[in-house]
Amino acid sequence: MVDSSIDSLREAAHRAASDAEQIAWVDEQDNLLGALVRSELRERGLIGRGTYIMLFNSAGELCVHRRTLSKAIYPGYWDVAAGGMVLATETYAESAARELEEELGVGGVELTAHDHFYFEDTGNRLWCSAFSAVWDGPLILQPEEVVEARFIPIDQVLLEITQKPYCPDSLAALRRYLRSQGPDVA
């Protein structure tokens, strides 16, 4: 019980710090307008920038992970990509590298850029950049954001997304990635 309370306090503190981060605020064409605190950007329904990093192993399996319940958007959902909001001082690529290392403990890998697109859902308006990377090493999960993670075949991912709650923004990135790779990927 004590460990659970400590974990909950750690997640709450992380969420408060995350909500206070200065995020890149952009317009409908992805032109930088300035920086806003993440919680204000979300509350005002403004557009930010986000990154999605699909992490594969050399067998072609995709890393999926479950988000903590303290996440502001899609708490407890499964996710097909590491990633997050781009800080006001970062490029998309810098944000992608930072997020992959923070969430899954994967650093120093080559990121391949795939796509740049707009996504909108209730409480979530983003210009998105999607990347991929290959990693066969251990995963070191950020406990404040990731509950569990595992590599699974793409066909299993496509089945799971019909059975479990998955983040719609990262699913948009995955679907666009799969279409770009041709019919033989899945």
The beta-strand segments (E) located in the chain are 22-26, 32-37, 47-56, 62-67, 78-79, 82-85, 112-121, 124-134, 146-152
Give me 160's structure tokens.
């799971």
11 annotated to a ligand binding site: no
| Residue 61 assigned as binding residue | no
Compute the distance between CA of residue 6 and CA of residue 138 in angstroms, rounded to an integer.
25
| DSSP type of residue 42 | H
SS3 112: strand
Binding site: which residues? 99, 103
Binding site for Mg(2+): which residues? 99, 103
